Amino acid sequence: MAIEETGKRIGYVNVREGSDDVLGEACGYIALLAVEREHEGKGVAQSLVKQAERWAKEMGFSRLALDVFASNEHALKFYERAGFQPETVRVIKKL
């Protein structure tokens, strides 16, 4: 799904069927959400998330999930404002 302005793509969301590994059920999954830098803060990402939510509901899913880097505070705050809540924490050790 994309949002265009004057023929140019300014934002994009890739949403698909995923799996909630905690509950063991299918859910909607946002694999990618991107907005052109000059359009950040203008509601584009919010519109894309709403499109993803509509798609997930139409597909019969009761949950929508995504992954975000713990260091990406900007994205974490955005998703929190959009109603997402942390469910698990994945930890990694570099070898």
**CATH classification of the domain holding 50:** 3.40.630.30
Structural domain harbouring 45: 2-81
What residues form DSSP beta bridges with 29? 16, 65
In a domain, 12, yes or no: yes
In a domain, 38, yes or no: yes
Could you tell me the two tokens for 46? 């919010």
Per-residue pLDDT tens digits for 1-20? 888 888 899 999 999 999 87
In a domain, 67, yes or no: yes
Per-residue pLDDT tens digits for 16-72? 999 877 778 899 999 999 999 999 999 999 999 999 999 999 999 999 999 999 999
The pLDDT score that the predictor gives to residue 21 is 76
The pLDDT score that the predictor gives to residue 65 is 95
Q: What average pLDDT does this structure show over 72-93?
A: 92
The pLDDT score that the predictor gives to residue 53 is 97
Q: Per the structure, how many domains does the chain have?
A: 1
